[in-house]
Structure 1
Amino acid sequence: MTSSDALRIAVFNGKGGCGKTTLAWNLAMGLGRRASTLLLDADPQGSLAHWADWSGREDIAIRVREWGSEAGHGEEYAFIVTDCAPRLEAEELKQIVAESDLVLLPVLPSPLDLWASRRSADWIREQRAQRPTLRAAFVLNQVEAQSALSRAAQVAIAELGLPVLRAVLHRRAIYRSAALEGLSVYHMGKRASAAQAELERLIEEIVT
């Protein structure tokens, strides 16, 4: 399998503070447990590269590189995950999405955060109109345990015109703990079992 055969996933939302980079990192780590995975950092902040360097671990199951037109070419990967800059005006965004099979938009499950994601959802729907094979979906992130979506949030989701994955990610301290150590929740042992399980549900949903 060459990089041209890989499942390419872009993680994007023009609304900051939605946990985009954390999702991209942990998602790539979960995919890396299945097959060869490349994680590309297209965010000028370079958080992912710093994250990987900070860990100092040799058992990181993925490659992390800065996004570029030649990144991954000539190499074999089953999955390529790109952490996009949180800006609709980013010059590389259109190219990344054009090369992607799936766009995941993490969003906090509140009406204000959902409505703030409207421009991103509208832009993605425009790209899908030009390329109907492009898949896109919201990922509800940092959901409070045992809380149901408010009616206002449900209405906001429906108005945005993109599907929502059934798998959700909850607000868990283990995600922050792993980040502070430069690790993913897959490196945090049994105390991260719940976080690992919800990521596995998300992965199964997007790869099957």
Structure 2
Amino acid sequence: MHVVLIAAQKGGSGKSTLAAHFGALAERDGRTLLIDADPQGSLSFWYERRAAEAPLLAKAGAGDVAGILKDAQAEGIAWTIIDSPPHNAPLIGSLMSRATMTVIPVRPGPFDLAAVGATLDMARSLKAPIACIINAAPPITRESETAIVAEARGLLTSMGAPVLPGQVSQRASLSHALITGQAVNEFEPDGRAAREIEAMWSAVVGLARAFPRKA
């Protein structure tokens, strides 16, 4: 079973949004479980509005994740995606140690870039495989990323952070999909948002498969 943790110690980075969209895409490749470990419950809010029966979802408190992962492994789950809380370094560290890889969404703004260092330091101390995603970015213009995205990518690279190519842009269709309990590839499969999300998930899959599966 591959375990993908979506983590950032700053709130508002878009973790739940990525978890929902990634979960629907992961289901194409095998049974998928979403774990909502964020007390805010945004992922559960989306799931309650979802008509489709997959992926599965489990709510988890701080001490529940290990048992949920053990059960998921026994039940033949192929992918588990964990939406983690911000501002809870001990729990994030525990989840990182259990994950195949950790995805760190970063908005291309000064506060988010300033805050990402703590998450990167934690990952280094745990020797946890990570990848940063530039999230909620201004849309690409004329097939090139905006200056603020290029600057963010350069700063992350200078911090030693692996950054996935491309970006997830701030697009209305992402929110419209979530409101209706869908993923954007279901809501608007031929749209730009769906293409960006699918490209990011494909990159995450490629990296996750390079690391040992987690029990």
TM-score normalised by L of structure 2: 0.83
1:138 is paired with a residue of what secondary structure? strand
Equivalenced residue count is 194
| CA distances 1:116-174 after superposition (whole Å, capped 9, x unpaired) | 2111111112111xxxxx32011001121224244643442133321001131111000
* 2:198 alignment partner in structure 1: 200
1:62 equivalenced with 2:55 (yes/no): yes
* 1:11 alignment partner in structure 2: 6
Which consecutive unaligned segments of at least 5 residues does structure 2 have?
207-215
| CA distances 1:86-133 after superposition (whole Å, capped 9, x unpaired) | 1243x43222111101100001112332122111111112111xxxxx
1:156 equivalenced with 2:149 (yes/no): no
| CA distances 1:31-80 after superposition (whole Å, capped 9, x unpaired) | 1122111100110112222211123x0x2420011132221412111111
Residue 23 of structure 1 deviates from its aligned partner by 0.6
Residue 207 of structure 1 deviates from its aligned partner by 1.6
* 1:79 alignment partner in structure 2: 79
Larger mean CA deviation between 25-34 and 69-78 belongs to: 69-78
Q: How does 1:43-54 map to 2 (within 5 A)?
A: 43-54=38-49
Residue 186 of structure 1 deviates from its aligned partner by 2.5
Q: Which amino acid aligns with 1:194?
A: R
* 1:131 alignment partner in structure 2: none
Match of 1:136 among 130, 135, 159: 130
Residue 199 of structure 1 deviates from its aligned partner by 1.6
Could you say if the C-alpha distance between residues 202 and 152 of structure 1 is closer, same or farther in structure 2, counting changes exceeding 3 Å? closer
Residue 200 of structure 1 deviates from its aligned partner by 1.6
Distance in 2 between the 1:199 and 1:155 partners?
22
* 2:23 alignment partner in structure 1: 28
Distance in 2 between the 1:104 and 1:33 partners?
20
2:131 is paired with a residue of what secondary structure? strand
Distance in 1 between the 2:49 and 2:172 partners?
19
Distance in 2 between the 1:94 and 1:189 partners?
35
Distance in 2 between the 1:44 and 1:165 partners?
28
Which consecutive unaligned segments of at least 5 residues does structure 1 have?
1-5, 129-133
Distance in 1 between the 2:129 and 2:115 partners?
21
Distance in 2 between the 1:28 and 1:160 partners?
29
Could you say if the C-alpha distance between residues 155 and 168 of structure 1 is closer, same or farther in structure 2, counting changes exceeding 3 Å? closer
1:44 is paired with a residue of what secondary structure? coil
Residue 15 of structure 1 deviates from its aligned partner by 1.1
